[in-house]
Amino acid sequence: MLYARVYFKDDVWEYHITKEYEDRDGGSNLAVRIERKQDPRAFCEWRLPDVICDKSFGFSEQEILDIEDYLRDNESIMWDDYREEALKHA
Closest CA to 67 of 78, 28, 19: 78
How high is the pLDDT of residue 89? 80
H/E element, 41: none
User: Domains in the chain: how many in total?
Assistant: 1
Residue numbers in the chain where pLDDT is lower than 70: 90
pLDDT at 13: 96
Q: What is the pLDDT of residue 63?
A: 95
pLDDT at 65: 96
55 is in which domain, residue-wise?
2-88
Nearest to 57 by CA among 67, 42, 68: 42
Would you say how long the chain is, in residues?
A: 90
CA distance 67 to 22: 23
E strand or H helix at 44, and its extent?
Answer: strand 43-48
